[in-house]
Chain A
Amino acid sequence: MQLDENINKKFVLGRSVVRKFILYILLFSSTVTLVLIVIQLYGDYRYGLDSIEKSVTQIEVSYLDGIINSLWLSDTELLQIQLEGILKLPDMQYVDVVYENGMVAKAGEIQAAHVVKKEFLLSYTYGNKTIPLGRLHIVYTLENIYDRLTQKAIVIIVSQGVKTFMVSGFIFFVFYMLVARHLQALASYANALDLHTLEKPFVLKRKQHNRIKDEFDILVKAINEMRMTLQASYRQLQGEIIERKQVEASLRKSESRYRGLFEEAPISLWEEDFSAVRKYIDQLRSAGITDFRSYFISHPESVDTCAQLIKIIDVNRETLKILGAGSKELLYGNLDTVFGQKSYEAFREELICLAEGKYNFELQTVNKTLQGNEIQVILGLTVVPGYEDTWSKVFVSLSDVTQRMQAEAELSQYRNQLEELVQKRTEELQEQTGKVEKSIDELQKVNSEYDAANKELKEFAYVVSHDLKAPLRAISQLTHWLSEDYSAGFDAEGKEQMQLILQRVKRMDGLIDGILRYSRIGRIKEKEKRLDLNLLVEEVIDSIAPRDTIQILFENKLPVVFKNAIRMEQVFQNLLGNAIKYMDKDEGIIKVGCVDEGAFWKFSVSDNGPGIDKKYHEKIFQIFQTLMPRDEHESTGIGLTLVKKIVALYGGSVWVESESGKGAAFFFTLPKKGEKDEKL
C-alpha cells in the first residue's frame, strides 16, 4: 500500500510538473515555429509571384515586339518559334495568340488547377494609327511554387521540430537534474518520514562541497530544522503520553483496588454525596448562625431537611448483609426503616460535627435491619481528603457491635467474679509470701555466713601452709648440716635415720605445696584466654619428658577453648603425669582424645597401665589419697584432687573408667563458652 502510493506520487509528479513543463515548452516553441514558417512561406510565395511578374515584364519587353512583328508579317513559323521560346520560360505552362480573326496559335497545355493567366493586347502602331492584331495569352502554373513551398515547409517543420524536441529534451534533463529529482527525493523522504525515521536527516544527492548555496540548500536546511523540531515535539509528546498512560494505568489500578476494597470490606461502607448539605449549612452560616449545636437541637425540621439532601452513591456487600437487604434497590427503598427514630440523634450529632469542621469522627448509634431487628452500630464518618470544600465524597462506615457489646457485658460480669476470686486468693498468698520471705532472709544470712567461712578457710589454708614451710626448711637444712658437719659422730643407722628425716621433710614440703596449690584454685581470679589445647598438651608432654618406652598418641584434634592456661596445664599435667608415673608395661601407650558433645567437650586420657579397682574410683579424687605406698611412689595425693577442683570450677565433671589390670581411662568435661570455643 505504502509502495503503491509512493509510485503513484512519483508518477503524478512526473505527469503534473515535468509533463506540463514540457508541454508548455513544446506548445510555445511549436507555435513560434509555426508562425515563423508561415511568415517565411508567405515570403517565398510572394517571391514566386514576383518572379512570375518579372517574367511577364520580361515577355512584354523581350517578346512582345517580336510577336507583333510576326503577326504583322504573318510569319506563323516565327510566331510558333517565339511562342515555344516563351514556353521555355520558368513556370510557363501554356501560351497562345488569338488572332483578330479568331485563329489561334498556341504552345503548351493547361494542366494544373493553380494557374495565373495574363493577357496582352497585340497591336501594331503605324504612324499614329493603332491596328489591333490579336491577343496573347500566357498561363503560368503555380505548381512549382507550391511544390517548392511544400518542400520547404516540410524541411522547416522537420528541422524546427527536431530542434524543438532536442531543446525540450535538454530543458527537461536540466530541469530534472536541477529540480525535479530533488523534488522527487523530497517527496519520497517526506513519504518515508514517520516518527521512527525522524533521526535520519534529509540530504539531497548532489555535490556537497565547494558549491554556492542555492534555494535547495535553504529548503534542506528548513526541512531538517522542521524535522528536528518535530522530533523534539514528538519526544516531548511521547513522554507525556507515556506519563499519561502510566497515570491512567495506576488510576485504573487504584480505582479497581479501591472498588475491590470498598466492595469486599468487612464493615459496612457507604459512599455518599453531602454537597447539598454543605450548601444548606453554608446558607445557615451566612444567615448568621454560629452555634450549630443549639440550632439543630432547636430546629429538628432542619435535621430532617439535611437527611433528605444526602445522596447515596454506593454501598458495599457488607452493608446489605448487616442490614438484611437482598439488594441495593431494596435498601434504598427502605432507608426510613434503617434510620428510624433512634438514629435521629446520631445523625444530628453527625451534622453538628460536620458543621464544626470535623471531617473524621465516630459515633455510636442504633439502626434497624429491614426485618426490624435493632442493631448496635459504631458509625464512622470521613470526608475524603480533597473533598473538604464540597463534601461531595463522604465515606460512612457502620460496624455491627451488637454481639461485641453483649460479649462485653458478659465479660464484665465474669471480670467482677474473677476480681473477687483474685482478691481472696491474693490475701491468702500474701500471708504465705510473708512466711517465705522470712525463710529467704534466713537462708541468705546462712549463705553469706557460709561464703565468709569458706573464704576464711581458703585464706587459712594458704597462710598455714605458708608458715609451715619455714620451720620445715629449717629442719631440713639443720639436719643436712648435722650430717655434713658431724658425719663422724653418726654410725650407719644414724645416717639412715638422718636421710629418713630429710625424706619426710621433702614429703611434708610436697604436701604443703599441694595444699597451697589446692587453696589457690578459686581463691584468685585467673585470666582466661583462647587456648589451642593441641599446643598446650604438646608443651605439657615436653615438660614431663616421658620415658622412651611410653608413647603418647592423639586420638583426634583437640579444640580451642577459652580458659586459664595454668589451670588447663595442671589438669593435663596431672592426668598424663599419673599415667606415666604408674605405667607398668614395657610398651606404654597413652591416648589423649576429645569428643564434641554439643554443649560441652568430653576429654579423655587413657592408658594401658595397671588400672584402678572400681572401689577406689571415688577415693582417688579425695585429697592426700594415694593407692601406692609413698615410699614406693613418692606422691602427695593432691593431683587428682586438683584436677577435680579445676574441672568443677569450670562447671565440668571428672570420672574414671577402669578395672584392675585393664588400664584406666580418665574423662572430664568442659562446657563450651559460647562462640569463644571452637572446633579445630
Chain B
Amino acid sequence: MRSSKPILLVEDDQVDAMTVKRALKEINVTNRLDIVDDGEKALAFLENPENENPGIILLDLNMPRMNGIEFLHIVKKDDMLQKIPVIVLTTSREDQDKVDSFKLGVAGYMVKPVDYLKFVEVVKTIDLYWTLSELPE
C-alpha cells in the first residue's frame, strides 16, 4: 500500500480474517496487518501508545460486544482517530447499515463475497482506493 503504516482489521470471523490476510498477500501488500476481533478491542488497540496508528481500518459490522456501528460512533468523536479512513467490510447488504456507516464518515462500504476470488477483487479495490485517494496526514 502507499505508506508503510500498518492496516487494522477489526473482524471476529477467523476464516474471514484469514481471507483478508491471504488476499493482501496475494496482491503483494506487505504492510503489517493487526487483527482485533471486536470494537472494544479495536479501541483499546488504538488508544495504546505502544501501537503504531494504522493507515487504514477495515471494519466488520456484525461483531460481539461492540459492533462496527458502535465503534464508528466513538471514532467519529475522537479528533485523532476520525482522520484514519475506515472501510466497512461486511456481509450485510442492508440499506440501513450503508446509510448509518456513511453518516459516520466511512471511506467505503464493501460486501464480502462468498467466492474467494471475488473477495480478492474486493481487497484489490480497497488497495487501489487507498493508493489513489488523497488522505489527511
Contact = CB atoms under 8 A, between A and B. Distances in A.
B124 to A, nearest CB: 16
Given A473-B15, A474-B13, A474-B15, A480 B95 contact: no
A477 B95 contact: no
A478 B115 contact: no
A434 to B, nearest CB: 47
Contacts of A516: 93
A469 B116 contact: no
Contacts of A506: 114-115
Interface string A462-475: 00001001101110
Contacts of A505: 114
Nearest to B91: A469
Contacts of A469: 91, 114
Contacts of B91: 466, 469-470, 473
A44 interface: no
Nearest to B19: A477
Contact of A476 (B92, B96, B115): B115
Interface string B14-46: 011011001000000000000000000000000
A414 interface: no
A478 B15 CA distance: 8
Contacts of B130: none
Contacts of A481: 22, 116
Contact of A473 (B22, B92, B96, B112): B112
Contacts of B117: 480
A492 B93 CA distance: 37
A84 interface: no
Contacts of B16: 470, 473-474
B59 to A, nearest CB: 16
Contact of A470 (B13, B22, B115, B116): B13
A477 B15 contact: yes
A469 B62 CA distance: 12
A509 interface: yes
B44 to A, nearest CB: 24
A469 B116 CA distance: 14
A524 interface: yes
A612 B99 CA distance: 42
A664 to B, nearest CB: 31
Interface centre among A469, A470, A516 (most CB of B within 10 A): A470
A509 B16 CA distance: 16
B114 A480 contact: no
Nearest to A505: B114
A146 B50 CA distance: 181
Nearest to B60: A470
Nearest to A479: B116
Contacts of A466: 62, 91-92
Interface string A45-83: 000000000000000000000000000000000000000
A502 B117 CA distance: 12
A473 B114 contact: yes
B55 to A, nearest CB: 25
Contacts of A524: 95-96
Interface in B76-112: 91-93, 95-96, 112
Given A473-B13, A474-B16, A509-B114, 10 more contacts: A466-B92, A470-B91, A472-B114, A473-B113, A473-B114, A474-B13, A476-B114, A476-B116, A480-B117, A516-B93
28 contacts: A466-B62, A466-B91, A469-B91, A470-B13, A470-B16, A470-B91, A472-B114, A473-B13, A473-B15, A473-B113, A473-B114, A474-B13, A474-B16, A476-B115, A477-B15, A477-B18, A477-B119, A478-B15, A480-B115, A480-B116, A480-B117, A481-B22, A481-B116, A506-B114, A509-B114, A516-B93, A524-B95, A524-B96
> Which 8 pairs of residues, A with B, have the shortest CB-CB distance?
A474-B15, A480-B116, A509-B114, A477-B116, A473-B114, A469-B91, A476-B114, A477-B19
